[in-house]
Structure 1
Amino acid sequence: MERCKNVWLAVSGLVISDKGEWLVVNKRYGGLKGQWSLPAGFVKNDETVDEAVVREVLEETGIHTEIEGIVGVRSGVIKGDISDNMLIFLLKPLSFEVNAQLDELYEAKFYHPDLLMKEGKQSLLLEQLLAFKKERMQTMLDGLNPGDQFGYTSYKLFL
C-alpha cells in the first residue's frame, strides 16, 4: 500500500535464561554494528508480530522460544521520512545452545546484564531495559475472532 510504504514494523526479543542472563547479539551491519543488542527483525506480511519475533530469534541465534508478553514499544522517525516502530517481547527460552547467524552477526550469547553494562558496548534499548519489571508486561490473548466479516486468519490481543 502506498500509504504505508515508509512505515516499518519490527520486533525484538528479550530472552532471559533461568540464571538471569539475556540473549544478546553483536551485529555486523547498520547503526548497531559492533554493539550488543537484542535479536530483532522485520515482520513479514503473512505473520503476526509474535510469530515474527519467535522466527527472528530462532534465525539469528538458533534459540527456540515461547512468548511471555510484550515489554514495550520503540517508535521513532528517521530523517523526517520513515516511521520506524518496534515491539519488544519477553520470551522464554526453550533451548540454550546458541548458534549465531554469522552472515549477520559477529556473535550471539547469553550474557548477564551487569557484565554487559560493564563492557560498555550495549545499545540504548538494552540499557533502558535494565529497569524492566515483569509485572508491567502485557500478555497475549489468542484464539479470538472479532467477526467473520473482517477475514482474519489470525487475531491476537496483547493486554
Structure 2
Amino acid sequence: MGTKRGNVWLAVSGLVTNRQGEWLVVKKKYGGLKGKWSLPAGFVESFETVDEAVIREVKEETGIIGSIKGIVGVRSGVIRNEISDNMIIFSLTTEDEKITIQESELLEARFVHPSELAKDPTSSVIINYLLEKGTSEPHKSHDGINPGDQFGYTAYKLFF
C-alpha cells in the first residue's frame, strides 16, 4: 500500500485559535475525514522541520498565518499492518481571520467556537477528544480509540 512517502508517514496538524477563542476547522473533500470538521493538516516535506510544516500547511489550506504556542499531542497509528501513520498536533494562535480555502482539498474552512463544535455531529474524533480532555493536560497515551473503520487502522493511539 506504500506511496511516494514510503511506509512511515509524518504529518502535522494545527489547532489554531483566534482572539475570540474560536478554532480554525476545515472540511476535506476526500479521505476518511471527508465532510467532517477537522484541523488543518498535511505531510512534513523533506526540506522542513515539523513546526515549519504546520505553519505552511495551515497557510496553504486556509490562508491563515499562525504563531506556534507548543505541541498539544501526537497521534500515531498503523494502517492495515503496513504503514506507520504519525501526526504531531500543534497549538497556534493568529491575529489573521481572513480565510482563503485551498479549493482543491477543502469544502469549507472557518473559525468555530468550541461549544459549537461539541454539538456538531460532523466534528472529527480528534476534535471531540480535544474538546473533552482539553489542551493543557500532560501528554498521556490513550489506547482503545477507534476513529472509524473506514481508515483501516490496526493500531491507533492518541498522546494527549
TM range (shorter): 0.7 to 0.9
TM normalised by structure 2 equals 0.80
Instruction: Structure 1: state its 5+ residue gaps.
Output: 138-159
CA distance in 2: counterparts of 1:94 and 1:113, whole angstroms: 18
- Please name the residue that 2:37 is paired with: 36
Equivalences for residues 6-155 of structure 1 within 5 A: 6-130=7-131, 131-134=133-136, 136=138
Cα RMSD for the two superposed structures: 1.4
**Secondary structure at the residue paired with 1:134?**
coil
The total of aligned residue pairs comes to 134
1:21-79 CA distance string (max 9 Å, x none): 10000000000000000000000000000000000000000000111100100000000
Q: Aligned residues: percent identity?
A: 59
Q: What is the Cα deviation at residue 135 of structure 1? A: 6.3
1:101-148 CA distance string (max 9 Å, x none): 1111010000011112212101100000112233648xxxxxxxxxxx
CA distance in 2: counterparts of 1:132 and 1:119, whole angstroms: 17
TM normalised by structure 1 equals 0.80
| Residue type of the alignment partner of 1:134 | S
CA distance in 2: counterparts of 1:6 and 1:135, whole angstroms: 31
CA distance in 2: counterparts of 1:134 and 1:92, whole angstroms: 15
Instruction: Structure 2: state its 5+ residue gaps.
Output: 140-160
